[in-house]
Amino acid sequence: MIKKCLGLQSDLDDAGIGYEPSPFSKRLAVDKTTDYKVVEFDKTYKGDKKVLMICTEERYMLMENGKKFSSGNHPVESCQPIMHLVNAGFDFDVATPTGKPACIEMWALPQKDQVVLGFFNKTAKPKFDAPLSLADIMADEKKLSQYVCFFPPGGQGAMLGLPEDENLGKLLGYAREKDLFIMSVCHGPAAFLAAKQEPFLFDGYKIACFPDSIDKQTPMVGYLPGKQTWYFGEKLIERGVTIVNTGADATVAEDRKLITGASPKACQELGVRMAKKLLENFA
């Protein structure tokens, strides 16, 4: 009762299945605007190569206490970096493991950011609602060869289904074999755990991502309805990855063809830096 009065109690989602962050944690962690600013690039891409965003098609994360967190991919972390790549001339596709609609944390939309909201509604949402199948892409070499960058965005939903997906593991191996770019942010690097190849594809890499230490604290303010059953940062460290940040900040890490960001605060720099790298290599 006290938690509810203070706004610290997680709210049931519209489906009555899982819990969204509490009113207090939404005020604390969900910004109504972003720091998105248009960047003018010296040149733009004129070819037909694309970026592939790999999203989850699963919404609910089971907590230790049996409650479910209503998650998905974070809309800002999905859209803001891609907006810079689009401005640089690169088109993008969205894929989920089987082609089911991508799950998006709609409660995390920046309600007063008309530019990002406009991109989400007009450009991204139709692709989220009718994505490609990653399984189909991996079965067709011609389809696969049209992509020069792969992007699993953030949101706790990146921990649902993607770390176990065999086709995603093969896709990451393909990206490394072909020396292509990979971009990710916040919880997105959880998807890297799909790579089951030995040695681990990202052994020895330095990345930025959302800290496990904060995920372990968020149940106290009702962002999560309970403790997670596992933490992706711990798993990546076990596989030889070094996490360079300790806060949910604007850190961007670049290691070979992998560029990663720590949180939504990193999305501006992450997108601009990846756009420049793609232009240097393909324009």
DSSP codes, 254-277: EETTEEEESSGGGHHHHHHHHHHH
Q: What 3 state SS string does 130-190 have?
A: CCEEHHHHHCCHHHHCCEEEEECCCCHHHHCCHHHCHHHHHHHHHHHHCCCEEEEECCHHH
Q: Provide the pLDDT for residue 232.
A: 98
Q: 195 near 240, Cβ under 8 Å?
A: no
- Per-residue pLDDT tens digits of the chain, which is 283 residues long: 546 655 678 989 999 999 999 999 999 999 999 999 999 999 999 999 999 999 999 999 999 999 999 999 999 999 999 999 999 999 999 999 999 999 999 999 999 999 999 999 999 999 999 999 999 999 999 999 999 999 999 999 999 999 999 999 999 999 999 999 999 999 999 999 999 999 999 999 999 999 999 999 999 999 999 999 999 999 999 999 999 999 999 999 999 999 999 999 999 999 999 999 999 999 8
Q: Which of 109, 82, 59 is nearest to 185 (CA)?
A: 82
Question: Sign of the CA dihedral 193, 179, 88, 48?
Answer: negative
Nearby residues of 38 by Cβ (< 8 Å), 6 or more positions away? 87
Query: What is the pLDDT at residue 11?
Result: 87
**Angle of helix 75-87 versus helix 267-282 axis, rounded to 10:** 30
Task: Quote the pLDDT of residue 25.
Answer: 94
- Domains of the chain from N-terminus onward: 40-282 (3.40.50.880)
Q: Looking at residue 6, what is its pLDDT?
A: 56
d(CA 53, CA 41): 22
Residue type, 161: G
Sign of CA dihedral 200, 203, 209, 210: positive
Confirm if 102 and 58 have CB atoms less than 8 A apart: no
Cα distances (Å, whole numbers) of residue 158 to 74, 105, 144, 153, 163: 9, 11, 21, 7, 8
Phi, psi of 259 (to 5 degrees): -125, 125
pLDDT at 4: 60
Which residues participate in catalysis according to the annotation? 186
